[in-house]
Amino acid sequence: MSYPYQIKSLDQYKQVYQNSIENPDQFWASIANHFRWKKKWDKVLNWNFKKPEVQWFQGAKLNITENALDRHLQYNGHRPAIIWEPNDPDDHHRIITYKDLHFKVCQFAHVLKNNGVKKGDRVVIYMGMVPELAIAVLACARIGAVHSVIFGGFSAQSIADRLQDAQAAFIITCDGAFRGNKDIPLKSVIDDAVVQCSFVKRIIVLTRTRTPVSMIKGRDIWWEDEIKKVETMGNPDFPAEEMDAEDPLFILYTSGSTGKPKGVVHSSAGYMVYTTYSFVNVFQYEQEDIFFCTADVGWITGHSYIVYGPLCAGATTLMFEGVPTYPDAGRFWAIVDKFKVNTLYTAPTAIRSLMSFGLGPIHGHDLSSLKVLGSVGEPINEEAWHWYDEHIGKGKCPIVDTWWQTETGGIMISNMAGITPSMPAHATLPLPGIQPTLVDENGKEIEGNSVSGNLCIKFPWPSIIRTTYGDHERCRTNYFATYENQYFTGDGALRDEHGNYRITGRVDDVLNVSGHRIGTAEVENAINMHAGVVESAVVGYPHDIKGQGIYAFVIDNNLHGDENLTRQDILITVSRIIGAIAKPDKIQFVSGLPKTRSGKIMRRILRKIAEGELTNLGDTSTLLDPSVVEEIIKGRV
């Protein structure tokens, strides 16, 4: 069975798209009508990109968890909501029905309430990929608390920064997390983080790895003990808090071109409508399909397409605790076979990494259940696209190349599986309601086809970023001030003769390393914190598996006299300040950096050197000391 708002043909897409642009209010209202509201809206859309201010479904009251859970109980309560596959293939998997999930979310909402969590409070969640992570997220939403999930790869310092920015008094974590053959001591990282955060009142710890942990009296409590207390209460139902359409649902921190990560804020109603709508249409989800998104809930992809989108659609979402190469590079294919997965949604970096193991790991796994494949996080190169198509989809599964961002909340530009045409390395067409534009450096919109420019969106969609937490001005300057009346994505794109978009990558100082977003300024700040470093400049360079690698040019003070040791020290420093995901792949020690007379580092030149493009460095005549360029070229690593 399909959904009332599911688009079923190319002609229908064209009609729906046209209508969504001409009558946006009517269009989105007709979709929103299929959700459960405590009270419907007074006005569909109110917007002003100058401020910026965007309100969707103004005046409506709802709770997203009633749409993700309660709404499915009557007819589909017995259906699997979450299938969970553990890190170790020999351990038991878990199947959690909608009825079970509703029960567990209500139970944990009681736990939160018993511990003083109230509507509007910020709750930081730092857990591995266990079902309780989804339960914690939904319980926050149930009670109206604002969750902020932090990916398990971030360091104590990064967590402390986020705790402070969000002023979060509550943390939910695990003793540890299993990831491949690693055991990550999550609670111990949290302990280091909260040393700087005396405002943290409660830390709820779920048992997963049985790693020894220090539990501080009066502050730290066990998830399991708290659940036991709730169990004696009898009926665990937890009435969903009535939320305003525009009440914040969550904060998710992401990197930008400045040093400090920003807290992207999404609101309740618009996010719900858009993630569900895009989930159903892009993947052409049919009831009873098994949907497997391999992202981590610590990133937006996991929020929108492991938790909220699928659950609001009453789908079965598969959550995997481990990594694609453990115990071997056939793990994804083993999971597809084991659960007869219908849709696989993963990242180009994972595809490229699995490609490098050859076809061996695929053999012996039946992939015939697959109907749709998806890609997200970075431009997918043609080679990876064809491998995915041929060896995983066996030439019969449409591949959706989904372009979107943490700030957009949901998929913006993508083909719809089997409905609109797919094209290798092209995200193709905008979803209904999405109005992309290309603009030149002067902010002039570039009309027509077969053109390229900076990618903007000129009209709001329901899951657009509302603010950056605690600093609305930053939201304005980052996204709405570069080009008048446009949301600026930070990406460049081409539009071909048929209007298909091809995303070419970031045009700002943001790197995309294995689908993770990392700001060069952030990495530079971390490197510069090392006592032996005088100054540094970080740029990206093409990397076969990661998409982009991190190349750091560093001026050191030669205190050790041992470059290798300093290199190791810098790597450890970056791991401590940001997390292992931001460690530079290459570090080159230099005696100077190419700067203009006004002292600005000319990254354009460093980027070319890092890319190995040495013949055409462009104009170097404005450099303070052109000779440093020669030296840097000679010392390339």
Q: Which residues bind ligand WT7 (CB under 6 A)?
A: 254, 300-301, 376-379, 401-406, 427, 489-491, 503, 505-506, 512, 517
What contacts 269, CB < 8 A, 6 or more positions away? 32, 41, 56, 57, 60, 62, 245, 246, 462
Q: What is the 3-state secondary structure (H, E, C) of 76-143?
A: HCCCEEEEEECCCCCCCCEEEEHHHHHHHHHHHHHHHHHCCCCCCCEEEEECCCCHHHHHHHHHHHHH
Burial class (CB in 10 A: 0-12, 13-18, 19+), 155: buried
Q: How far is the CB of 416 from ligand WT7 (least distance, A)?
A: 14
CA distance 76 to 72: 5
Q: How far is the CB of 506 from ligand WT7 (least distance, A)?
A: 5
Q: Which is nearer to ligand WT7, 144 or 379 (CB)?
A: 379
CA distance 450 to 426: 14
Nearest to 310 by CA among 96, 127, 145: 96
Q: How far is the CB of 581 from ligand WT7 (least distance, A)?
A: 12
Give how far Cα 294 sits from Cα of 263, 382, 479, Å: 23, 21, 29
Q: Which is nearer to ligand WT7, 437 or 512 (CB)?
A: 512
Q: Which is nearer to ligand WT7, 170 or 404 (CB)?
A: 404
Q: Which is nearer to ligand WT7, 101 or 419 (CB)?
A: 419
Q: Which is nearer to ligand WT7, 512 or 588 (CB)?
A: 512
Q: Which is nearer to ligand WT7, 241 or 296 (CB)?
A: 296
Q: Which is nearer to ligand WT7, 175 or 401 (CB)?
A: 401
CB 264 within 8 A of CB 253: yes
Q: How far is the CB of 125 from ligand WT7 (least distance, A)?
A: 18
Q: How far is the CB of 356 from ligand WT7 (least distance, A)?
A: 21
> Dihedral through CA 513, CA 515, CA 519, CA 524, nearest 10?
-30
Q: Which is nearer to ligand WT7, 162 or 506 (CB)?
A: 506
Q: How far is the CB of 480 from ligand WT7 (least distance, A)?
A: 16
Q: How far is the CB of 15 from ligand WT7 (least distance, A)?
A: 25
Q: How far is the CB of 412 from ligand WT7 (least distance, A)?
A: 9
Q: How far is the CB of 47 from ligand WT7 (least distance, A)?
A: 22
Of how many residues is the chain composed?
637
Phi, psi of 468 (to 5 degrees): -100, 130
Q: Which is nearer to ligand WT7, 519 or 594 (CB)?
A: 519
C-alpha 583: how far from chain center: 19
DSSP 440-484: -TTS-B--SSSEEEEEEE-S--TT---EETT-HHHHIIIIISSST
CB 452 within 8 A of CB 491: no
Q: How far is the CB of 503 from ligand WT7 (least distance, A)?
A: 4
Q: Which is nearer to ligand WT7, 462 or 490 (CB)?
A: 490
CA distance 472 to 480: 11
C-alpha 361: how far from chain center: 28
> Token pair of 605, please?
């030149």
> Token pair of 259, please?
């040093």
